[in-house]
């Protein structure tokens, strides 16, 4: 009787496809290749290799980070709009220093005789004065350079935070419409020949917005309340300050900020676009009415 003494056939031990020297019996659930512990990545079922995980991530749409009020981008983004506004105001001030003509050509004015003998003002079709005045400042008089210095400091101190939480387009809309609100109120109730310059209307709008948004986000608003009250006292106690510009800017800024801050997330996009458009339409209508009132009867 004899027995078969031939050896059993050799079987190969599986190894990791990325590390051939490492034995493993675990396969990637996606590509079915063997993977070692270093190459394993947890999946919904089993494990996947690093290449399959990377391939899967390419098709995943990452959520864009947003602020509590819906603005895109991280809170650490550079406040480009604030710095640009400061730059425009400083450039306008330098132009004013270079020529008085810049002042009387672009200051806020209802209707009056200009130094060149011509009649000018918003009522004469120079509607741009409603906007250009918010970037200009006194080049002399009682306030001199302190006018632009304070406004630029306030813009730097308050504007950066608002730009970060509102985002750039909401912030620039808030600034421009607040400044416009100040010009329009002066145009409505002020004497036609009264002129004004300054970013104060827009700055007061930022003050009002900071208070409203601060309350919404539960951040301390004591400092802005103190600054706002102090400036309101100065507004009504110091000659030469346009209270119309300050109050108009404050009202528009606070109203827009309330919409930006308290609109439910589901309707945020609609309201955040509609509110500035309706505000602009209302201000434009008031300008048309006042212009008709100041126009000579035909």
Please tell me the least confidently modeled range out of 33-37, 66-70, 182-186, 216-220: 66-70
Judgement on whether residues 120 and 189 belong to the same structural domain of the protein: yes
How do residues 41-55 score in pLDDT, each as one tens digit?
887 667 888 888 887
Is 98's pLDDT higher than 80?
yes
- 9 or 223, which is more confident? 223
Instruction: With beta carbons less than 8 A apart as the criterion, state whether 34 and 25 touch.
Output: yes
pLDDT of residue 59: 59
Which of helix, strand or coil describes residue 119? strand
Judgement on whether residues 44 and 101 belong to the same structural domain of the protein: no
pLDDT of residue 11: 53
pLDDT of residue 297: 54
Judgement on whether residues 192 and 45 belong to the same structural domain of the protein: no
pLDDT category at 78 given cuts 50, 70, 90 is confident
pLDDT of residue 201: 94
Is 35's pLDDT higher than 90?
no
User: Percentage of residues in the chain with pLDDT exceeding 90?
Assistant: 55
75 lies in a domain? no
- 40-68 burial string, b = 16+ CB within 10 Å, else e? beeeeeebbbebbbeeeeeeeeeeeeebe
70 lies in a domain? no
**Torsion sign (Cα): 286, 288, 292, 294:** positive
Residue 255: both structure tokens together: 């109203």
Structural domain boundaries enclosing 141: 80-294
55 lies in a domain? no
pLDDT of residue 294: 87
pLDDT of residue 127: 96
DSSP-assigned beta bridge partners for residue 211: none
Which of helix, strand or coil describes residue 46? coil
The total domain count for the chain is: 2
Residue 253: both structure tokens together: 């800024």
Name the DSSP class of 126.
-
The residues annotated as belonging to the active site are 200, 246
Judgement on whether residues 212 and 282 belong to the same structural domain of the protein: yes
How do residues 118-167 score in pLDDT, each as one tens digit?
899 999 999 999 999 999 998 876 566 888 999 999 999 999 999 999 99
pLDDT category at 73 given cuts 50, 70, 90 is low
Is 4's pLDDT higher than 70?
no
pLDDT of residue 83: 96
pLDDT of residue 8: 44
DSSP-assigned beta bridge partners for residue 120: 112
CATH number at residue 172: 1.20.1540.10
Is 84's pLDDT higher than 50?
yes
Instruction: With beta carbons less than 8 A apart as the criterion, state whether 148 and 93 touch.
Output: yes
59 lies in a domain? no
pLDDT of residue 41: 83
Q: What is the mean pLDDT of the chain?
A: 87
How do residues 256-276 score in pLDDT, each as one tens digit?
999 999 998 888 889 999 999
Judgement on whether residues 31 and 146 belong to the same structural domain of the protein: no
pLDDT of residue 1: 41
d(CA 175, CA 248): 12
């Amino acid at each position: 009787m004899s027995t078969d003494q031939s050896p059993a056939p050799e079987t190969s031990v599986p190894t990791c496809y990325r590390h051939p020297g490492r034995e493993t019996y675990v396969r990637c659930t996606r590509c079915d290749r063997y993977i070692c512990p270093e190459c394993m990545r947890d999946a919904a079922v089993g494990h996947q290799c690093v290449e399959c995980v990377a391939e899967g991530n390419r098709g995943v749409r990452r959520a864009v980070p947003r602020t509590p009020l819906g603005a895109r981008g991280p809170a650490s983004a550079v406040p480009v709009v604030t710095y640009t506004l400061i730059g425009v105001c400083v450039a306008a001030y330098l132009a004013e220093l270079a020529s008085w003509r810049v002042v009387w050509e672009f200051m806020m004015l209802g209707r009056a005789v200009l130094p060149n003998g011509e009649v000018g003002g918003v009522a004469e079709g120079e509607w741009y004065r409603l906007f250009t005045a918010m970037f200009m400042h006194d080049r002399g008089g009682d306030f001199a350079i302190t006018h632009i210095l304070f406004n630029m400091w306030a813009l730097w101190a308050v504007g950066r935070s608002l730009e970060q939480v509102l985002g750039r387009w909401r912030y620039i809309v808030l600034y421009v419409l607040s400044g416009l609100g100040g010009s329009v109120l002066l145009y409505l109730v002020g004497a036609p020949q009264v002129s004004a310059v300054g970013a104060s209307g827009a700055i007061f709008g930022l003050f009002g917005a900071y208070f409203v948004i601060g309350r919404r986000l539960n951040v301390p608003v004591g400092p802005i309340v103190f600054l706002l009250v102090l400036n309101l006292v100065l507004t009504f106690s110091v000659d030469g300050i346009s209270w119309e510009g300050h109050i108009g800017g404050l009202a528009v800024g606070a109203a827009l900020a309330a919409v930006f801050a308290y609109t439910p997330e589901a309707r945020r996009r609609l309201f955040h676009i509609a509110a500035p458009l309706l505000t602009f339409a209302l201000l434009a209508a008031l300008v048309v009415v006042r212009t008709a009132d100041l126009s000579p009867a035909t």
